[in-house]
Amino acid sequence: MRRFFENIPKDLWRDYGWQIKNRLKTREDIQKYIKLLPEEVEGIERTKGIYPLAITPHYFSLIEPEDPNDPIRLQCIPRREEVDENAQRLGEPDPFREEGQVPGLTHRYRDRVLLSVTTFCAVYCRHCMRKRIFAQGERSRSTEELRKMIEYIKEHEEIRDVLISGGEPLSLSYEKLEYLLSQLRKIKHVEIIRFGTRLLVLAPQRFFDNKLLDILEKYSPIWINTHFNHPKEITEEAEEAVERLLRRGIPINNQTVLLKGVNDNPQTMLELFRGLLRIKVKPQYLFHCDPVKGAVHFRTSIDKGLEIMEYLRGRISGMGIPTYAVDLPGGKGKVPLMPNYIINREGDKFTFRSPFGDVVEYEITDV
Ligand SMILES: *Cc1c(COP(=O)(O)O)cnc(C)c1O
């Protein structure tokens, strides 16, 4: 589609470096292409120095300029709500207590560890759960800091799964990626490595780079957790990037966040999950939006999430239905939520309701 950038030659458009170098970062950059709303102008001015602004041409080109509530626009252009009194009062910078003893490392679940390796992102999502880290500017961890994380993992034999996140972890240099992955692979108890990356959505051109793919393939098994929120984000480029990753043996799971005004309706979600299955990406989680300072205006009710889950069942394969989960405050973990299909129970005698509205009595005994 490539709206606004029709004149950019194809080889530049397909180049990740070009996408990053040409990010839109100011009010003036954006106004070259679209007319800003008053609440956006105020948002851009008042978030200066608090929450950064950057949008890749790829992501920006998905905006429908005539729609003030375009779902892409809402995710990448700041609005007044990020800094108004409500937003600041209702949210916390770090509701999940991610900050621990080793900087950038969170060890909440026994077998898994989360690493935040950079504060750089291709696009700064307005709903980001780690908005707090971006005040530090765009900076990746030094080799020394990475070494401390690796030391910790070495000392904790219960860790089998390392989730590398950021910021955008796949923005690290080849050298740092090689260092991190080769060191992790030397640790016997580390079985799988995952990257939490949104580049498939924000700059899928990253995966047109064989040198990066060579590195990822070399340290298999590697998984990708990505973050599609809306069917419009499933572009031709994203589809090509997924294909290239799968050919290198890298499976991709998706984590959607339920966002008011962006995707909080059942039909949009159905279209999103159908689209993801079509490009061979598995919807893994649907997260309830967290009470993060600067992002609370995206929150909806739990009822909305349950309504969506209810709608999906029966309309799409179970493969396309993610686990709806809410992250508990204070770092207490993720809780899965489901519509209730048991209407009544007396001992082993259950009364179920089916996804099609039938009421079914069913006795299930352990023989
Ligand atoms: C979500 C999360 C994980 C990974 O959880 P999965 O259910 O395995 O995807 C690991 N560590 C922390 C701190 C998390 O918040």
Question: pLDDT tens digits for 109-122?
Answer: 999 999 999 999 99
pLDDT of residue 356 exceeding 80, the answer is yes
Instruction: Give the closest residue (by CA) to ligand 1 atom 2.
Output: 114
Residue 123: band (very low, low, confident or very high) from pLDDT cuts 50, 70, 90: very high
pLDDT of residue 98 exceeding 80, the answer is no
Quick check: is 112 catalytic?
A: yes
- What value does the mean pLDDT take over residues 152-172? 97
Task: Give the domain ranges of the chain.
Answer: 10-86, 92-337
* pLDDT tens string 266-281: 999 999 999 999 999 9
Q: How big is the chain by its Cα radius of gyration, in Å? A: 21
Instruction: Enumerate the H helices of 48-142 as residue ranges.
Output: 57-60, 71-76, 85-90
pLDDT for 1 equals 63
pLDDT for 48 equals 94
Residue 350: band (very low, low, confident or very high) from pLDDT cuts 50, 70, 90: very high
Instruction: Tell me which residue of 93, 172, 175, 174 sits closest to 139, measured CA to CA.
Output: 172
What is the Cα–Cα distance from 72 to 74, expressed in whole angstroms? 5
Which amino acid makes up residue 235? T
What is the Cα–Cα distance from 280 to 247, expressed in whole angstroms? 12
Looking only at the bridges linking them, the beta strands covering 359-363 and 342-346 are unpaired
* pLDDT tens string 21-47: 999 999 999 999 999 999 999 999 999
> Check: CATH 3.40.47.10 for 92-337?
no
**Share above pLDDT 90 across residues of the chain, in percent, rounded to a whole number:** 90
Which amino acid makes up residue 319? M
Q: Which helix (H) or strand (E) holds 326?
A: strand 323-328
pLDDT for 99 equals 75
pLDDT of residue 358 exceeding 70, the answer is yes
The answer to whether the CB of 106 is under 6 A from ligand 1 is yes
Residue-averaged pLDDT of the chain: 95
Residue 176 near residue 140, CB atoms below 8 Å: yes
What is the Cα–Cα distance from 213 to 306, expressed in whole angstroms? 38
Residue 232 near residue 62, CB atoms below 8 Å: yes
pLDDT of residue 183 exceeding 80, the answer is yes
List 351's β-bridge partners, or say none: 344, 361
DSSP 208: G
Q: Which helix (H) or strand (E) holds 274?
A: helix 266-278
Active-site residue, selected from the candidate residues 108, 147, 260, 304: 108
Residue 30 near residue 97, CB atoms below 8 Å: no
pLDDT for 348 equals 95
The answer to whether the CB of 112 is under 6 A from ligand 1 is yes
- What value does the mean pLDDT take over residues 1-6? 88
pTM: 0.96
Instruction: Tell me which residue of 330, 260, 344 sits closest to 302, measured CA to CA.
Output: 260
- What value does the mean pLDDT take over residues 238-242? 98
Residue 136: band (very low, low, confident or very high) from pLDDT cuts 50, 70, 90: confident
The answer to whether the CB of 109 is under 6 A from ligand 1 is yes
